[in-house]
Every structure is written in C-alpha cells, then in structure tokens.
Amino acid sequence: MKVQSTTTQQDNHFLISDYDYKSTNIEKNGDKYIAKPQITNFKFKTDTRIPKLGVMLVGWGGNNGTTLTGGILANKFNVTWNSRRGTHQPNFYGSLTQSSVIKIGTCNTEEVFVPFKDVLPMVNPCDIVFGGWDINSMNLADAMNRAQVVEYDLQQKLRPYLEKLVPLPSIYYPDFIAANQGDRADNVIPGNNKLEHLNIIRKNIADFKQQNNLDKVILLWTANTERFCVEDPNIHGTAEKLLKSIESSHPEISASTIFACAACLEGCSFINGSPQNTIVPGVIELAEKAGVFVAGDDFKTGQTKFKTCLVEYLVGAGIKPKAIISYNHLGNNDGKNLSQESCFKSKERSKKTCVDDILESNKVLYPTEEELNIDHTIVIKYCPETGDSKKAMDEYIAEIFLGGRQTFAVYNVCEDSLLAAPLIMDLLLLCELFERIQFSKDSSEFQRFDTVLSWLSYLMKAPKSESGITTINALSRQRAMLENLVKVCAGLTVDDNLRLEVRYG
C-alpha cells in the first residue's frame, strides 16, 4: 500500500504524516454545556526500518510461553499436523495484527480492507528470537507436553525445535505466588540478595542481546499471578527508593518488579501479562529515564473481552446492566496458582474493574454513585480435570423498558493459551512498532509516546494509563483507537463511518 498525499512524506527511512486532529472542548455553564470544536495539528514520524527483535518471556515454560513459542515455530517452518478432523495448517487466528483487517478506503463504492500488519512496517512474528526464564527447568518440548494445550501430533512435530530450548534459572520469591507452586521450583537463582538477582537478570538480557545479535529486546511477564505487593511510597515511590529497597532486599519487592527494573536498566520495554501491581511508580520513573515503555496489566483474552463488548453494547443501547456473575473453572497451572486466596485477589481485582468506565459514562442509566455499584461477582475454581480448557459461565442481568429484565447466559469454552498466545504476540509487535513512532504537537520537537503505553489497552484486562488519563475499557473504542493511530501514522483518513463518499459520490 502506498499513500499519495500532500500531508504524507517519506524522508530517508522516516514516514512523516501530518494530521489535523479534531476534538471538542466542553465548558460547563451551570447545568448547560458549551461545546467548542477545535483543531490541533500533529505530525507523526515512523521509522520504517524493521529491527531484529528478541523477546524474553518470564515464565517461558508455562502454558502461554510454550504455546506462543511453538505456535510461531509452526508458522515459521510451516509445520502441518493431523487430528481426527484432518490435516491442519498453522495460522495466526486470534492475532489482531496478523489476522484482522483495516478498512483503508473505497474503490468506486467497494470498501477496501488490508491486513492490519500491512498498514505500517512491522516485525514478522516468525523473525522474533525467543528466550526467557522459568523456575522450572523443563525444556520447551516437555513443557508443551505438560501444558496439554496443543494437539499431540503437533507437539511431536515441534519436538525437534523445542527440545533445544531450555529456560534460564529464575528468581523465586515463594511468598508472592501460591505455595502449591513450590514443587516446580527446580531452576532457581540461589540466595536471597535481591540486588544480586537484579544484576544476574540484567546480565542475562545483555548476553541474550549480544549472542543473538539483536537490535532490541522486549521483556514480558507471563509467569504466575503474584499477590499484590504492599505498595508504599517509601519503598516503591521513586526510582531511587525502589533501587534502595532492592539493595536492602526488602520483602515487599516482588520477582516481577525485579524483572521490570532489569528490563528498564537494560533499555528494554516491559509488559506485564498478569494482574499484580508490578509496575510501581519507581518502575515507571526508571522506564521514563531509559526511554522505554511499560504496559500492563493482565492479558484480556476470552471472558473479559466478551464482557467489555457486551456491556458496551447494552449501555450503548440504553439498557441497564444490573448484575454480572462470572464463574470460571479451569484445571491448568494458572488455575492451581489462583486457588490460593492472595493470588485470586489480584485476578479478581483486574476482572472486576473492566466495566467501570462504561457504566460511569451513562448518567441517564446511572445517575447516582449508588446505582453504579452493580452486583459484579467473580468466582474462580480449580478443577484439574478441565486442564487448560477453561470454562467461563457468565450471567448478565439487565433492566429494560418498563422495569422488565433481560438475562444473558454465556458459556465460553476454549484452551486459554490458544487465545493468549496470539494476543501476547500482538503486544510485542505493537510495543516494538510504537518504539519507532514519534509525534510532534503544533510544530513542537518530536517526542515518543508516554512511558505507560495505554495504546495497548485493547489487549489488557486492567489497562494501565499514564497519570491523569482515564482508562478506556470498552472494546470497540479500544480497537478503534489502535486502528486509527496506525492509519494516522500511515497518512490514511480516520474512518468516522458516515460513508458519505459511498452515499453521495
């Protein structure tokens, strides 16, 4: 795709697009609103050179880690496999960047769509070099077998590639994850000195980058859900205090926070795929100083994606959700870990907050704070027999016209990691892309996006935002935000769906 426009130019290896952003400033005057439309000029500059990308996963030997690595290798080497349904080809279904499309315009009256990945130059997932850590020493072929996610024949075909991959020893703070994980921990960096741990992880990153001749590395936490650390401004509040607390091996410094710090100190962006409060203010300051991004928290895969879609639809239709009751049962290691109350609490929190902004936006349905307090219940049960085939059962009760009730009962079954793996890939590819984009507002100096990469909120259950920016959870708004950003950077027109060119030529 090539954009021909006076507002877009290619300058060496930079694609520069000029964009007049239209917004509306609202002033409140008593109970009246005064709306003042305004236009702000932005320029977006995208480095079109595609780097050699390395990714280090924390929890590489887990269900997500093995499914992601194996799935990408299956695509890279076009590994086919048989099941009782026939012969299967690898694909990237479930990946926003690889398998969804973006409308770029109209040809006569036909709408034209291209793959998301083709709008701006992006890393090919098959070119990513993977590495990582796990507290369990199993090679990735055996770990994939243990995970029980991927069809047996595919496991066998991937074995020659995966058995050579063995996770690096990791840091293990038993107090932060469930006690039932103890029997997995046979690949652990010894000692209790957190500064030494930080330095070993930093060295691992530097060695990985150098040995694989990489342009950049991104770290992603897909290890067990930890309990929340007891956040304290004196411990976690600034970069300096955080590093001091690591130096004194403070008990409220979690393993995930050590990895986040190591990433920042090695100039790598860090993504938190679990719900806990890894990205404390001190980590954000370290990332800011290093000029890298942090993003979190918790992958938004099946149940929550659906929730933020259904509730957006109901509230958008003027229907009032009054209760959401979510049951999950799952039998994988994630479920086993979540069976401990402290880890469940982290998950409950991220699952519960995901509709708040959608409800708050509609003061017709929810005129008071009290009414916003709907019944939103989260239950998670560990049931080993279900394996990775997670069952999610949700009941939505909504109030309709004249006091009537509308109830939806939703039953969702699938291998959790087959949803998570393509989403993790998107997080990595988009994070890498955003490292190559700069913007300028009203002809100011070009600068990078904010340190907390809330552009990725479509992929996160409890999206972390830069301070002062409200979080958007509504799924279609999150997707539109990502799609429009990519289009604007490429010099394409943002679609407002009026379709006037089709209606009136």
Structure-derived torsion over alpha carbons of residues 127, 131, 136, 140, reported in degrees to the nearest 10: 30
Other residues' Cβ atoms within 10 Å of the Cβ of residue 505: 7
Judged by beta carbon, residue 301 or residue 438, the one nearer ligand NAI is: 301
Closest listed residue to residue 457, CA positions, set 439, 487, 479? 479
Judged by beta carbon, residue 320 or residue 351, the one nearer ligand NAI is: 351
Asked whether the CA dihedral 172, 173, 174, 177 is positive or negative, the reply is negative
CB of 132 to ligand NAI, least distance (A): 8
CB of 458 to ligand NAI, least distance (A): 14
- C-alpha distances in Å from residue 27, one per residue of 30, 32, 157, 426: 10, 8, 63, 38
Closest listed residue to residue 90, CA positions, set 118, 112, 65, 68? 68
Judged by beta carbon, residue 225 or residue 269, the one nearer ligand NAI is: 225
CB of 300 to ligand NAI, least distance (A): 7
What does the radius of gyration of the chain's CA atoms come to, in whole angstroms? 23
186 residue type, one letter: D
Quote the CA–CA distance of 315 and 313 in Å, as a whole number.
Answer: 6
CB of 171 to ligand NAI, least distance (A): 6
Asked whether the CA dihedral 491, 464, 35, 481 is positive or negative, the reply is positive
Judged by beta carbon, residue 250 or residue 448, the one nearer ligand NAI is: 250
Catalytic residue list contains 426: no
Judged by beta carbon, residue 81 or residue 176, the one nearer ligand NAI is: 176
Closest listed residue to residue 104, CA positions, set 477, 488, 436, 475? 488
Structure tokens at 57: 């996963």
Residue 136 CA to its chain's centroid (Å) = 24
Residue among 390, 394, 426, 487 flagged as catalytic: 390
Catalytic residue list contains 289: no
- List contacts with ligand NAI (CB under 6 A): 58-59, 61-64, 133-136, 170-172, 177, 184, 222-225, 255, 273-274, 298-299, 301, 332-334, 337, 416-417, 419-420
Q: Which run of H or of E encompasses 415?
A: strand 405-415
CB of 305 to ligand NAI, least distance (A): 10
Quote the CA–CA distance of 283 and 239 in Å, as a whole number.
Answer: 6
401 residue type, one letter: F
Contact 130, 57 (CB under 8 A): yes
Catalytic residue list contains 28: no
Judged by beta carbon, residue 97 or residue 304, the one nearer ligand NAI is: 304
258 residue type, one letter: I
Residue among 347, 351, 464, 487 flagged as catalytic: 347
Catalytic residue list contains 244: no
Judged by beta carbon, residue 182 or residue 233, the one nearer ligand NAI is: 182
Quote the CA–CA distance of 200 and 170 in Å, as a whole number.
Answer: 9
CB of 64 to ligand NAI, least distance (A): 3
Question: For strand 447-448 and strand 437-441, is the pairing parallel, antiparallel, or unpaired?
Answer: antiparallel
What is the SS3 assignment for 22? strand
Residue 249 CA to its chain's centroid (Å) = 29
Q: Which residues of 414-440 are buried (b: 16+ CB within 10 A; e: fewer)?
A: ebbbbbbbbbbbbbbbbbbbbbbbbbb
Quote the CA–CA distance of 133 and 187 in Å, as a whole number.
Answer: 9
Residue nearest to ligand NAI (CB): 62
Judged by beta carbon, residue 62 or residue 491, the one nearer ligand NAI is: 62
Judged by beta carbon, residue 334 or residue 435, the one nearer ligand NAI is: 334
CB of 299 to ligand NAI, least distance (A): 4
CB of 207 to ligand NAI, least distance (A): 17
Residue among 194, 209, 320, 461 flagged as catalytic: 461
CB of 443 to ligand NAI, least distance (A): 42
Residue 246 CA to its chain's centroid (Å) = 27
Residue among 134, 298, 334, 388 flagged as catalytic: 298
Give the residue numbers marked as catalytic.
Answer: 298, 347, 390, 461
